[in-house]
Amino acid sequence: MDKFVIQGGAKIDGEVRISGAKNAALPLLAAMILADSPITLKNVPDLKDVRTLVKLIGGLGITMSYEGDTVVADTSTLDNQFAPYELVKTMRASILVLGPLLARYGSAKVSLPGGCAIGSRPVDQHLKALEALGAEIEVEAGYVLAKVDGRLKGGEVIFDMVTVGGTENILTAAVLADGVTTIRNAAREPEITDLAQMLIKMGAKIEGLDTDTLVVTGVESLHGCEYSVVADRIETGSYLAAAAITGGKVKTTHTDPNLLEAVLDKFEEMGAEVTRGDDWIELDMMGKRPKAVSFQTLPHPEFPTDMQAQLMAVNAIGRGFATISETIFENRFMHVPELARMGANIQVDGNDAIVTGVEKLSAAPVMATDLRASFSLVLAALVADGETTIDRIYHIDRGYEDIEAKLQGLGVQIQRVSETS
């Protein structure tokens, strides 16, 4: 298993190019199944989850080409609607092929997902929503078996809780349904809007973008198009956090400031100078130690749960103390014991973490626990005295493209060490 070895004491300085968003790329890839002519997706990040989904879609018989940051799919060769456990178990997002397969081909057999260890992410919301459009669904032996006679029928879908994956699944099903579908309590994340925009480019009729009510008028077929994946707002925020924690300066390019206003506000509250351009953001900490800031994670456009751990790391060396409330996922403070090993002072009380800033952290061997949270350990390592080893970095590789090259470009001494066990 690979490890990162990071030398503390670097001050971040430079420019970093942000990749396409994994959380947007995955539903967009799944939606390619809906196109009845070849479809091209650009700015696709080279990540394990992306490669897994490309493989899974290829396994349906669809002709896939994946070169550089571009994926081209031709669905005319599709010969089955089966997503096996071997591929699905490594990544929850595989469930996103359910909606498109059902809508276009009338049946699907998809394994129940595996993936991150963050709380109980319920797939039942997805299934209930598809049933509202007339799908017959059974779950047996760990597989979801879904079928529909003819086309799905438009209907009213009301989610009991905000679910990004559920909204994506029902959106990609409703676009080919017969009639009008209203999706209430829909998620409002930028990745949903990105998906809706590609579907519209393919010929879908969707209204209510960026709101919690999406109205979809079904069409008989969708055609191919060329589309680019939206910038990764979490990767953007993570590199900005690296400048904040080290008192440094970074310019993130090929990104969009509008996607993470809530996070940028917090960096400004910490004392950073944040400059926004059309497709870039610059953060300058001007050598200062950041002030600890409190926040609560909430659905978009509020503060994203996927930035919680990174700001916790910055708070760990901040001036004063701060309370962080996690309202989205249970079990999402797994990085706390790891940060504590490096000298952070953090008390967890239910869904709240109280961080009291310390002047410095010290290097220690730590272990990555989930994808986004693990970047917090990289951040802590940047300011720790000595050399930190981070184990199980396959979690980080799932969500960050070329992380060591990007950090080296900003002046960090980081190397990947492969262990043959």
What three-state secondary structure class fits 156? Answer: strand
Q: List b or e across 362-376, with b for residues whose CB sees 16 or more CB atoms inside 10 angstroms.
A: ebbebbbbbbbbbbb
Q: Which residues contact 12 (CB under 8 A, 6 or more apart)?
A: 242, 243, 246, 248, 249, 250, 382, 410, 411, 412
From the CA atom positions of the chain, what is the Rg in Å? Answer: 22
Q: How far is residue 346 from each of residues 89, 338, 358, measured CA to CA in Å?
A: 33, 11, 10
| Contact criterion met (CB below 8 Å) for 199 and 219 | no
User: How many Cβ atoms sit within 10 Å of the Cβ of residue 51?
Assistant: 12
Cis check for the bond before 304: say yes or no (omega within 30 of 0).
no
Q: What is the DSSP letter of 278?
A: S
Quote the CA–CA distance of 306 and 117 in Å, as a whole number: 14
Q: ∠ at Cα 330 (93, 266), nearest 5°?
A: 90
Q: How far is residue 103 from each of residues 27, 69, 220, measured CA to CA in Å?
A: 15, 28, 10
Quote the CA–CA distance of 222 and 200 in Å, as a whole number: 9
Is 225 annotated in the active site?
no
Task: Take residue 58 and report the two structure tokens written for it.
Answer: 């290829």
Q: Which residues contact 106 (CB under 8 A, 6 or more apart)?
A: 147, 148, 149, 150, 151
Burial (CB < 10 A; 0-12, 13-18, 19+), residue 112, is: middle
Catalytic residue among 26, 116, 292, 414: 116
Cis check for the bond before 301: say yes or no (omega within 30 of 0).
yes
Residues noted as catalytic:
116
